[in-house]
Structure 1
């Protein structure tokens, strides 16, 4: 290594290779039978041996290719590195299996999500649905793509005709609050979808297969790659009142829908509760 930061396109190439290998491992372990199931924050928040194995594999590959970088993963946190961005200014943000409950049940919606952050800004990302092989990629300033097609999000302008995706946390009190928000929001939209995979939800919004998305309680590894895909597809990805997307709330929608959706969510205290 010469100490220079590679171009975002080169970081994306690395991310795609790592994500594809990780997805293959996840699928192979799923075919062999889910094992090592444990819980994390609550009894419904599950983690499997595959989550841990896939993360270890991806981190090892990244370490081999980019030894000076930092890695933030869902299962093991910050891998060893020189500070939050490593000695290189690059940090990788990894969710080894986003949608572990789907993975546990064999539902075909679970993803490897990997983003590259340079000096605090996400510049490249990939989300790969391990079950189907669908793959979404983005480079900051260069657009978002799936299967070679550039993504542009939904053209819907009426929130009342918008199909909106969302998700729920694992804490029962948080779920109750989120259900209340949903109960009061649903009269103002076409319908709601809940797939259980934040990274894929963001990519579906980028593709226009849903018109918008919101969720409370996301960690950085949940939305780093998918959020870039959505942004590069022309969506606005933010929190409430100009806040950055984060644990309080992530909203992703085309500009015409973002304002009305944001205002309803603010009125309904979507960022509140436990």
Structure 2
């Protein structure tokens, strides 16, 4: 493609292939380092919000390979990778989404790699073009290209047909900010009796992919970062799920749901949030 502008369908397909290759390569690094030893390099918001040396190593690999393959594209990474874009495209990467799961040896972690057009730090303003979410512990790769559909390991996927909120299996997550975390817990407690059940898996990227393939009927979470959702929202949307970014009690709520379920869940969450004050 040229220096600026949206890619063609053929170029988008090539970006999906590259995103998938990058996600798997970074996942190989994370899996190998997990088998050897997990070292915590630092913490962020508090002591529970950890960064492992594998996070840093995987992001370094992503930064270097993107720069080599796409030198005019920008980069935005969770662990600090930054590069401006002269092509109009930015790679938004999360080297390990679900780091606490990774730390404890749980398989529900992933590498998220996406390409977006627009301001990469504002998930309301960008347009995801291509993306992949690789889960090394599950041996799965989800991928999608704008207008090209979504796949798991190369096979097309689609969301569930659930339309009744009371029958919905809903995923969510909790922020490390203690004040927001407590309010999220109260919201989840208010919702759990109105749905089939709740799941807290620990990787928003995987949650969104699970909605895409019908393993969850819906997912919602507040104050997610761009790298948490860049690839997952595209996978979910291209699979046929409904994806929204909505204001809720002063926070931005990301919601993905099966068609026919999204409006009911958004309305119920809004009502419950108002009741909680």
TM-score normalised to the size of structure 2?
Answer: 0.90
Query: What is residue 43 of structure 1 aligned with on the other side?
Result: 47
Q: 2:241 aligns with which of 221, 235, 238?
A: 235
Q: 2:37 aligns with which of 33, 36, 41?
A: 33
TM-score normalised to the size of structure 1?
Answer: 0.91
Query: What is residue 131 of structure 2 aligned with on the other side?
Result: 125
Measured after TM superposition, the shift of residue 2 of structure 1 is 6.2
> Matches of 2:271 and 2:41 in 1, distance apart?
39
Matches within 5 A, 1:210-225: 210-225=216-231
Gaps of 5+ in 1: none
Gaps of 5+ in 2: 119-125
Matches within 5 A, 1:104-119: 104-119=103-118
> Matches of 2:218 and 2:2 in 1, distance apart?
42
Matches within 5 A, 1:140-155: 140-155=146-161
The 3-state SS of whatever aligns with 1:75 is coil
Matches within 5 A, 1:72-87: 72-77=76-81, 79-81=82-84, 86-87=85-86
- Residue by residue over 1:109-142, the C-alpha shift from the partner in whole angstroms, topping out at 9 and shown as x without a partner, is 1100000113442111100002122110111111
Q: 1:161 aligns with which of 161, 167, 178?
A: 167
Measured after TM superposition, the shift of residue 3 of structure 1 is 3.8
The 3-state SS of whatever aligns with 2:147 is coil
Contact 2:236/2:256 (8 A) holds in 1: yes
Query: What is residue 93 of structure 1 aligned with on the other side?
Result: 92
Residue 197 of structure 2 is aligned to residue 191 of structure 1? yes
Measured after TM superposition, the shift of residue 76 of structure 1 is 0.4
Query: Please, what is the CA RMSD of the aligned residues?
Result: 2.0
- Residue by residue over 1:19-78, the C-alpha shift from the partner in whole angstroms, topping out at 9 and shown as x without a partner, is 11100000111111011342101121111111011101110000000111100000105x
Measured after TM superposition, the shift of residue 4 of structure 1 is 6.7
Between Structure 1 and Structure 2, which shows a larger proportion of strand residues? 2
> Matches of 2:230 and 2:100 in 1, distance apart?
20
Deviates more, 1:3-12 or 1:255-264: 3-12
Moved over 6 A (4+): none
- Residue by residue over 1:210-247, the C-alpha shift from the partner in whole angstroms, topping out at 9 and shown as x without a partner, is 10000012001101100000001111110236x9xxx6
Contact 1:240/1:266 (8 A) holds in 2: no
The 3-state SS of whatever aligns with 2:220 is strand
